[in-house]
Chain A
Amino acid sequence: MKTLDKPWVLIAEREITTKLRDKTFIGSTLVMLLIVMVAVILPAILAGKGGPDKIGVIDDGGQKVVQTASATAGGDGYETTRFADRPAAEKAVTDGKVKAALLPDADGYVVLGKDRVDSGVEGALREAAAAVGMETNAGKAGLSPAELHAGTKVSLQLLNPGPLPDIVSDFVNIGLALVFYMTALGFGMMIAQSVVQEKESRVVEILAAAVPIRSLLWGKVLGNTVLALTQIVVIAGASLIGLLATDQADILEVVAPVAGWFVVFFVLGFVALAGLWAVAGSLATRQEDLGSTTLPGQMILMIPFFFSVFAGSSAKTVASFVPIASSMSMPGRMLTEDVPIWQPLVAIALLLAATVLIVRMGARLYERTLLQTGRRLGYREALALESR
């Protein structure tokens, strides 16, 4: 009948189910989801992928040019709207019903716009008109389209390809650091709060009487790590759907190989910090104490975060080896630079050692301070405290 031998699993379970019923937690997760979706989809919409641009035409020649341009752009770049004559087309352009109109001219075509014509549209139409015109001319001269294009193909080859363009890589670096920073800080505060709540409500004494205090700590760390990872996976899933829906799936090829590394760095860094946050909670006696007891944890997160965002590339390289800081900067570096494989391995080894050390110290402090409900303790004081 008495079966459960792993109380920390039960503690973790309670931690998870409580959070999943917590409206603020669900709410903040939804808001984050929304922000990520917008961030993924919005650029695509701004880049004009919202639907084909309408181009007015008045004859078959114009229609063919626009169709060619559309085919070059990938199939649905442009759409023709047929008008009876030039005045009708001019009116449609003025009213904004079409982006531009392609009208026949004495020696080719005119692209008609209102106050300006999008350079992308102009270039595409210009190229398509030239291609269609040249093919027609070549046909008259007895050349097939294949013969016409023979020897004109140009392809791109880079001797030193960077995985991503500069702006994108900055964005990715900051983004990955931010994901870790926000998650570790948000869940860290939740861990500290959940510990101090148990102290405040005095339920901790019953818990401590029933199971070893270390189990309480492990359960909390485990439960919150699972929650944090799940949150990230959900958000990653949402952005994946967003990317697929907006035809940006090619980014995935760059991101996918680093995803596994990110998870390893994330979990190790998160667990180390979680131990520290739990101690911050056990040093406090009331919610109000958390401001001061969580300060070291906040610093340990904040300093490497700003460092990894604003530091130069050599400093960033150093940071990517320093435990905790490495969780924020190494995955980003791997994504945007060519990082030799030994570097993340060394960083992980260092991080692992630090995590074991921090968690051990955390567990000791936690055991000593959890049942001290009298007043708030300082870290130094707690270290000097004798065991129960």
Chain B
Amino acid sequence: MLRVAGLTRRFGDHLALDDVTFDVVPGRMTGFVGANGAGKTTTMRIILGVLAATAGEVRWQDKPLTQDVRRDFGYMPEERGLYPKMKIRDQLVFFGRLHGLDQERAAARTDKILGRLGLAERASDVLETLSLGNQQRVQIAAALVHEPIALVLDEPFSGLDPLAVDAMVDLLREEVTSDVPVLFSSHQLDLVERLCDDLVVLSRGKVVAAGAVSELAAGPTSTYRLVVDGDAGWLRDVRGIQVRDVAGGTALFDVLDGAVEQKILQEAISRGPVLEFGPERVALSDVFREATR
């Protein structure tokens, strides 16, 4: 498990990170969200040792993270960059070896990933001749080539069209085994909601929410939504619930007593056709807005 423990970072007078603590659990994708300048990139750079922490530490398997271990991490920085004039195969082999693979293994892994990304024919092309989308793929490949033990991806999907995002996600799911913790930051909350198991919300250098996406999105109370063919006004007389809103056949209500929602469903069916019934999920963007307010 990757643990960020009490990270604090000052740039001069500016407190960029303030006692940031969270876990990235193996086999789960952890989304890292926050407004611009919230400290996501700073946190990631400290995890990778590119930046030093003013206080606090990064721990790996309950021990302080060392340079040796970190070498097996995979990292995709926010500011993309590879060698523009180097052939992509040479480049990936180089990065594989830089992360500790031997020549043969690095070459085998490179060929596999390039094949997987559909770039096998361009293996001996110079990076800068590739389209931006393909360059982005190579960038992901550079983070994955050495079979990292942990992955830190800073805005991995920014600038990609939905198809490319899907392809990238497939690759990640395929390459990342169940013992690899993955932390990725993103502005695209819908994407985070779709992909992530856990979520860390950062605001002005502080963690303001953290936990499983399902829990965070479920909200503190259970809100239900009922849509019937007819009028739903009768709900106002039901005990054990608090009606939030009724408009024609559509109603939104909070369940105060356990199991009362089943009775309401039976009642609704007996009164006529039910078009929709279920717990109302809070959009992640609302969670985000709420948390960072």
Contact = CB atoms under 8 A, between A and B. Distances in A.
Contacts of A208: 49-50
Interface in A346-388: 371, 373, 387-388
A18 interface: yes
Given A1-B105, A2-B100, A201-B83, A212 B67 contact: yes
B269 interface: no
Interface residues on B, range: 20 to 34
A7 interface: yes
B82 interface: yes
Given A202-B77, A202-B80, A205-B79, A10 B97 contact: yes
A302 interface: no
A315 interface: no
A148 interface: no
Given A14-B94, A203-B83, A2 B67 contact: no
Q: Which of A2, A202, A204, A373 has the most CB of B within 10 A?
A: A2
Interface string A208-222: 111110000000000
B113 to A, nearest CB: 16
Contact of A373 (B72, B79, B84): B79
Contacts of B100: 2-4
Contact of A388 (B51, B71, B83, B95): B51
B75 A206 contact: yes
A191 to B, nearest CB: 16
Nearest to A14: B94
Contacts of A212: 67
Interface in B31-56: 45, 48-52
B288 interface: no
B138 to A, nearest CB: 12
A387 B52 CA distance: 8
B81 A210 contact: no
B73 interface: yes
A209 B101 contact: no
Contacts of B83: 197-198, 201, 203
B91 to A, nearest CB: 9
Interface residues of A, number: 26
Contact of B82 (A1, A201, A209, A211): A201
Given A2-B72, A201-B83, A209 B48 contact: yes
B98 interface: yes
Contact of A204 (B48, B71, B81, B98): B81
B112 to A, nearest CB: 15
A202 B79 contact: yes
B75 A209 contact: yes
A207 interface: yes
Given A3-B100, A205-B50, A210 B71 contact: yes
A2 B101 contact: yes
Interface string A289-328: 0000000000000000000000000000000000000000
Contacts of A2: 71-72, 99-101
A201 B81 contact: yes
A19 B257 CA distance: 74
Interface of B: 45, 48-52, 67, 70-73, 75, 77, 79-84, 86, 94-95, 97-102, 105, 142
Given A7-B98, A205-B77, A209-B48, 18 more contacts: A1-B101, A3-B101, A4-B101, A10-B97, A197-B83, A201-B82, A202-B80, A205-B45, A205-B50, A205-B75, A206-B82, A209-B49, A210-B75, A210-B98, A211-B98, A371-B50, A371-B51, A388-B52
